[in-house]
Amino acid sequence: MKEYILMLAGVIILSALVTCISPGGKMGKFVGGMTKLLALAVLVTPLVQIFKGDLPELTVSETFEDDAGYFAACSERLSQGDEAEVAAYIEKEYGLDSEIAVTRETVPPFSRKKIRILLDLQGINGTDERIYIMTRIQEAIQAEYGCTAEVM
């Protein structure tokens, strides 16, 4: 079956090419007509085989592969975009450097599962101030992205 499809595609492409480069007039019409007859002969070939009793064998694969690799790559790219977005938000709103790790589902619609944020809290003195900043960031990220956020 694969050979038949390739042969049919080849004849059609050859026919189009010959029609484009053939001269006008009677010779061009003759060459175009011959390529069309050749394409028709290729199209009819399976019918001739069926009338002879030589039925084409169709094979079906018993194994089906899922798109797990593709879905994982999509999830990873979306996570990377989220990581950059969250890092930019924290830098803009709080003036802090951070390392972000976003975990998403690996099946559509690739929902966010968790956002881990590692903050660079240098310059913020006192335990209460650090806890306050971490809590504010955690609440803002959870509200914005609709998933659990872990701030360290």
The values of phi and psi at residue 122, to 5°, are -65, 135
pLDDT of residue 56: 60
Q: Which residue has the higher pLDDT, 82 or 126?
A: 82
As a whole number, mean pLDDT of residues 32-42 equals 83
d(CA 62, CA 44): 30
pLDDT of residue 57: 66
Q: Percentage of the chain with pLDDT > 70? A: 91
Which helix or strand (DSSP H or E) is residue 116 part of? strand 112-119
Q: In this structure, are residues 8 and 43 in contact, taking their beta carbons and an 8 Å threshold?
A: yes
| Model confidence pLDDT, tens digit, residues 19-33 | 788 777 888 888 888
Q: What is the rounded average pLDDT for all residues in the chain? A: 82
